[in-house]
Amino acid sequence: MKKMLITGATTMITLTGAAHAQSSVTLYGLIDAGLTYTSNQITGTGGGGHSNWQMTSGAVQDSRWGLRGAEDLGAGLKAVFALENGFNLNDGQYASGSRIFNRLAYVGVSSSDYGALTLGRQTDGMVDFLAPLSLTGTEYGGTHFAHPFDIDNLNDSFQINNSVKYTSPQFAGFRFAALYGFSNQAGGFANNRAYSFGLSYVSGPWNFAFGYLQLNSDARTPGQLNANGAVTDTTAASLQNTLSTSAVPVGVLADSQKTLGAGVNYLFGPAVAGFVYTQSKLTRFFQTNLSATFQNFEGNFRYALTPAVELSGAYTYSRAGGNGGGGIPHWNQVSGMADYHFSRRTDVYIQGAWQRVSPSGTSPLGVAWINGVSDPSSSTTQIQATAGLRHRF
User: What domains appear along the chain, each with residue ranges and CATH number?
Assistant: 3-392 (2.40.160.10)
> Tens of pLDDT along 99-124?
899 999 999 999 999 999 999 999 99
Distance in angstroms (rounded) separating the CA atoms of residues 279 and 207: 20
Whether the per-residue pLDDT at 330 is higher than 80: the answer is yes
Q: Is the dihedral of CA 198, 204, 205, 206 positive or negative?
A: negative
> Tens of pLDDT along 47-78?
677 899 999 999 999 999 999 999 999 999 99
For residue 174, list its beta bridge partners.
171, 201
DSSP 122-157: E--HIIIIIGGGSGGGSTTS-GGGSPGGGTT-TT--
> Tens of pLDDT along 245-255?
332 223 345 67
* Cβ contacts of 392 within 8 Å, gap of 6 or more: 28, 29, 30, 31, 344, 345, 346
* Cβ contacts of 316 within 8 Å, gap of 6 or more: 145, 147, 296, 297, 298, 299, 331, 332, 333, 335
Distance in angstroms (rounded) separating the CA atoms of residues 27 and 19: 18
Contact 179, 214 (CB under 8 A): no
In angstroms, how far is the first alpha carbon of the chain from the final one?
Answer: 6
**What is the pTM for the complete model shown?**
0.87
pLDDT band at 244 (very low <50, low <70, confident <90, very high): very low
Contact 83, 101 (CB under 8 A): yes
Contact 26, 15 (CB under 8 A): no
CA 83 vs CA 26, 69, 120, 153, 331: distances in Å: 11, 9, 10, 20, 36
The reported pLDDT for the residue numbered 7 is 37
